[in-house]
Structure 1
Amino acid sequence: MKKRGKILRDTNAGPGLLSIDGVQHPFTLEAHWKSDTPPKVGLVVEADLDDSGALRTVIPVADTQLAKEQAELAMQAAKAKGGELAAGLTARFGVPTLVAMAALVAGWFFLNTIAIQISSSYRVGLSFWKILGVLNSPATLMTSFSDAGGGAGGGIYAFLCIVALIAPLAPQVWKDKRAHLGGLLPLAFMLLVALMVYLGISDSLKQAQGAASMFGGGQGGRMAENIGNEMLREAMRAISVGIGGYLSLAASLYLAGRSAIQFLAAKA
């Protein structure tokens, strides 16, 4: 049978000594060592023992093999730890809540919340996170269309986004019935952002109308108003909701409904 051992003493001054499962075995180059590389203290070896436990052969284990085995052990430990963590989170928060939170993260950070039809052949998308960057710094709108550019940071909106994202977990750390209302924050935040986007577009067009009124008088103002209203309608038609918008809306509606039910149950 084959077992792993470690060399305790080399063969420079007589027989060497290796340890296998706490038992020491003497060995010699001539009778046991099966390698061109001389034995060294601390070297991991593979020893072949007969049925009585007597040493037959000793072969060094390659460093690459040891590294591979250590990596496999580390992977197994990580999987076991991940399984324990997943089981703990499931037991604490419940599968539906974790699924909704994961959907919210995907919808806000990785998928397009809105798509903008720039031309008949050019369509771009913005994630919810990028929209927050545009709200914080409208001048970065064009760079937000590029994945490489990434847009600017969300500033205070990014902070509110993170707060809204973790708010549904508030009942786990705050034992008050009002903590259940934290589940309403993702939906409320999304509605607030949608309103701010609409008001931002509307305000930009009103500023353009005001500038036209200054130069064109009353008639120019009325023409600018008509053009502005038409531009607003066209702008809204060019914007469509992406899969990230639908996914995060569904997740936030679930969290809001669950939050309301739990709050009412705690209040009763």
Structure 2
Amino acid sequence: MNASTLTRGGRAGKQKAAPAIEGAARAGFTARGVIYLLVGLLALQIAFGDSGKQADQGGALEEVASKPFGEVVLWALGVGVVGMALWRLSEAIFGAAGPDGNKPKKRLASAGRAVFYGFVAYSVISFAAGAGGSGSSDGKSRDATAKAMDLPAGRWLVGIAGVVILCAGLWMVVQAARRKYHKHMRLTDMSRKVRQGVDVTGVGGGVARGLVFAVAGGFAVRAAWDYEPDKAKGMDDTLRSFAETPVGPWLLVLIAVGLMLFGLFSFAMARYRKV
């Protein structure tokens, strides 16, 4: 069996699973949009003095759970994120949409995203099931950093992980600013106003999201450099750090609005993303 036979087999398998894969992907983008909208809203409340809120995935899930029919919505979000993980897994197995979707680096990137969304899905479903699986991102970050530093060469591992996250965040910023998401979307299906709205949310939201990742990575690098696990920060503490800059809470306001824009952009991806 040669490579071309395997490729044809993969394409045939993807075509058969296409309807299910597309539905899973669009459900995943919708769930991601809800979570980012809520995280942005919680960060905005923190910027205006409501320090009791937790601006991360756990805080977003708690906010959902406190509303009528919250449990139903939580399960729907969990199923949606599972869909996102399965879609990314299908890209790793069958290849992604587009002419270069079968390249090894694309498949590897999809595999990494599948693992990431798999962890997110487990966290959301655990929360929905009442296991408290979400928890504080700050506590998880400190605990994971402390355990990693106890390993041989653990300090280096944490530092390298921090550099990777920092670089990934900067890459997100550049990709969003250059509107690289255009190649993944059905632009011809959009009206002029819709496309303008997608660009506002895609650029603003992508830049804000990338900055949060980059700053979180920077904190991990500092924790490794100083050999102090407590200096590693999850999303909540990372967002709060924006309010501690010389411009006060206004930078956090901008980041919060950006995360909400990214939530709206995720809804646009659910509608127009090539799958």
- TM-score in same-fold range (> 0.5): no
Name the larger-Rg structure.
1
Q: Which has the higher strand share?
A: 1
Q: When the two structures are superposed, what TM-score results if normalisation uses the length of structure 2? A: 0.26
Q: Which has the higher helix share?
A: 2
